[in-house]
Structure 1
Amino acid sequence: MALTTKRKPDWLKIKLTSGDEFKEFKELKQMMRSKTLHTVCEEAKCPNIHECWANRTATFMILGDTCTRACRFCAVNTGLPTELDLQEPQRVAEAAEQMGLNHCVITSVARDDLRDGGASIFAESVKAVREKLPLCSVEVLIPDFMGNAEALEKVLDAKPDVLNHNVETVERLSDRVRSKAKYARTLGLLRTSKAYAPKIPTKSSIMIGVGETWEDILQTMDDLRAVDCNILTIGQYLQPTRHHLKIEKYYTPEEFEALKEEGLKRGFSHVESGPLVRSSYHAHEQKEAADRTIAAEQA
């Protein structure tokens, strides 16, 4: 499969970092390697990596760097994992402390080879960060655990500040875009999370540009609100290699703004929508904005 021949629009061109930003980026990268930690920022080729790392924010990727799934949009390595490090939560916490984080995001590769999908490591990571940084909020971006409710409850029992699970795309394209993950299972996970831990905000993300229609996107918003999802992020899909899904459409900044308005109109507490938006982009600001909205609604 060839890379898309569509010309990348100007609004997707990433500004080069300054000397200071590049220095911060190098320092953080060295620190991550010294603790043998992975980040989704690097593995998924995030376009915001220099900006976020310069601001001393990052999304830790636990459970190794090899995913048991092979989604057609994702640049993370796939295969049979061999790594399961029970000391990883402590090193994540040490890195978060060294960075002085106010908001820590923890995600993982899918580990369908593990009985609980890695839920216990998620839970221990949340606890470890809290011990090191009691005032730091912690967001988890979890896989679907193949529908294992006990695994989900294990994560929720650690009381993360945000439970994030991405729907990724619209229902019509889900089987083509994702591997093993099911649209209905994603909605079910978000619904179960709210039923089990109603005070923990839920969050999900849609990437657009893979062949969906405007009506498809609005229906996905409606589906997420039907399971009381609080926070929504919407970003442009960018083809990481020639082997991945091609880009069918580049959405304009104006279209992203219109989608933000549609999301807010439907009752999301916060919507982050833009060409370079990714699930964890400005995650701290997303949580704070959602907290304010939820507090106002409950007042």
Structure 2
Amino acid sequence: MISCDVSDPEARVSGVSPEPSGGGAIPARGKPRWLKVLAPGSEGYRRMRALTGTLRLETVCQSARCPNIGDCWQAGSAAFMILGVLCTRSCGFCDVKTGRPAPPDPDEPRRLAEAVTALALRHAVITSVTRDDLEDGGAGQFVACVEAIRARSPGTTVELLIPDFRGAPIPLEAVLNACPEVLNHNVETVPRLYPRVRPAASYAGSLQLLARAASHAGAGRVKSGIMLGLGEEEAEIEAVLVDLRRVGVDLLTIGQYLAPSRDHLPVVRYWEPEVFEGWRKRALEMGFAAVESHPLARSSMHAERLLGINDHD
């Protein structure tokens, strides 16, 4: 999951390149104006907060302290997070807490489907914490949520933002057999930075997961995302986009990394909006069908628009 907090430390990361090649970036000495967002408080935001509280549902919008929460919740859009609020991994960029999670809640799919119906969502995004403690990595809960939504709101398309299931093929196959309209799995960063950013994950393993999704008989659209600002070089970004397109990814998000706290990896660079627009154009040239690329872009932001759905016609 892409970290979404609006706070970040000003220190640099030791051991990563502090000077990405090319222009269009400024050192991380203070947050630039284009990352300023208004505090949420609209009527739509309050309605969403009340609904998720009543139904005891978690959202990654809250857990990752996403800066877009006011905009998305005002529009009646949210990324639901299943399988609890404690993750079994501790990635350097993520604000979700690490701990020993509780067993999956068998009533969670029903409550989630109720929220989707109450919000009249045309597109529902579901993600989760990583559950390495479960034999199936939580795949069964994803499937149950898809089934519950389709039983109650058959016109709603479903996007699943999944963990890597430790590379196990059976859980992934179960999720793919549920035939979500979008299968999303983020590579997050360039391979060189994985030991620091995603120490328990594998870049090659994530590519293999995406390739399997793209080749599945019932596959919908395949999506992935990357953060900028952790010390990556422009050539490395290009190489990741080439890899993603090669394995069949056709929907892409590119956003600015923002550190949740001083205990997380600090921002090395703030890349300017013009640079993100340049990567959007480059990705489209490579053959990606749709790209969301700007400093505040996140993996579930405007998900319906990226799929070609206007959720609030």
TM-score normalised to structure 1 length: 0.93
Aligned position for 1:4 = 10
Determine the C-alpha separation between the residues in 2 that align with 1:115 and 1:199: 24
Find 2:210's aligned residue among 179, 190, 212: 190
Determine the C-alpha separation between the residues in 2 that align with 1:27 and 1:16: 16
Please state whether the residue corresponding to 1:288 is helix, strand or coil. Answer: coil
CA distances 1:6-59 after superposition (whole Å, capped 9, x unpaired): 111111111345xxx522212211111111110000001111001000100000
Count how many residue pairs are aligned between Structure 1 and Structure 2: 285
Query: Which residues of structure 2 form unaligned runs of 5+?
Result: 1-7, 12-28
Question: Are the counterparts in 2 of residues 166 and 204 from structure 1 also a CA contact under 8 Å?
Answer: yes
CA distances 1:56-90 after superposition (whole Å, capped 9, x unpaired): 00000000000000001000111111241011111
CA distances 1:234-291 after superposition (whole Å, capped 9, x unpaired): 00000111100000000111000000011111111111100000000000000117xx
Determine the C-alpha separation between the residues in 2 that align with 1:44 and 1:36: 17
Find 1:236's aligned residue among 253, 256, 267: 256
Determine the C-alpha separation between the residues in 1 that align with 2:260 and 2:217: 36
Aligned position for 1:84 = 104
Determine the C-alpha separation between the residues in 2 that align with 1:3 and 1:241: 7
Aligned position for 1:62 = 82
Is it true that 1:15 corresponds to 2:38 in the alignment?
A: yes
Whichever residue aligns with residue 279 of structure 2, its letter is L
Percentage identity across paired residues of the two chains: 47
Determine the C-alpha separation between the residues in 2 that align with 1:197 and 1:167: 23
Q: Give the 5 Å matches for 1:1-299.
A: 3-4=9-10, 6-17=29-40, 22-197=42-217, 199-288=219-308
Q: Which moved more, 1:7-16 or 1:158-167?
A: 7-16
Whichever residue aligns with residue 169 of structure 1, its letter is T
Question: Are the counterparts in 2 of residues 106 and 139 from structure 1 also a CA contact under 8 Å?
Answer: yes
Whichever residue aligns with residue 170 of structure 2, its letter is E
Determine the C-alpha separation between the residues in 2 that align with 1:263 and 1:27: 37
Determine the C-alpha separation between the residues in 2 that align with 1:164 and 1:4: 31
Determine the C-alpha separation between the residues in 1 that align with 2:102 and 2:151: 28
Question: Are the counterparts in 2 of residues 75 and 240 from structure 1 also a CA contact under 8 Å?
Answer: yes
Whichever residue aligns with residue 4 of structure 1, its letter is E
Runs of 4+ off more than 3 Å? none
Determine the C-alpha separation between the residues in 2 that align with 1:238 and 1:57: 22
Determine the C-alpha separation between the residues in 2 that align with 1:180 and 1:16: 34
Determine the C-alpha separation between the residues in 2 that align with 1:24 and 1:193: 35
The Cα of 1:196 is off from its aligned counterpart by: 2.0
Which is bigger in relative contact order (C-alpha 8 A, separation at least 6)? 2
Whichever residue aligns with residue 112 of structure 2, its letter is V
Determine the C-alpha separation between the residues in 2 that align with 1:188 and 1:16: 39
**Aligned CA distance change for structure 1 residues 184 and 276 (closer, same or farther; 3 Å):** same
Whichever residue aligns with residue 35 of structure 2, its letter is L
Question: Are the counterparts in 1 of residues 191 and 203 from structure 2 also a CA contact under 8 Å?
Answer: yes
Determine the C-alpha separation between the residues in 2 that align with 1:207 and 1:134: 33
Determine the C-alpha separation between the residues in 2 that align with 1:266 and 1:27: 41
Determine the C-alpha separation between the residues in 2 that align with 1:197 and 1:263: 25
Determine the C-alpha separation between the residues in 2 that align with 1:181 and 1:226: 20
Query: Which residues of structure 1 form unaligned runs of 5+?
Result: 290-299
Question: Are the counterparts in 2 of residues 4 and 239 from structure 1 also a CA contact under 8 Å?
Answer: no
Higher helix share: 1
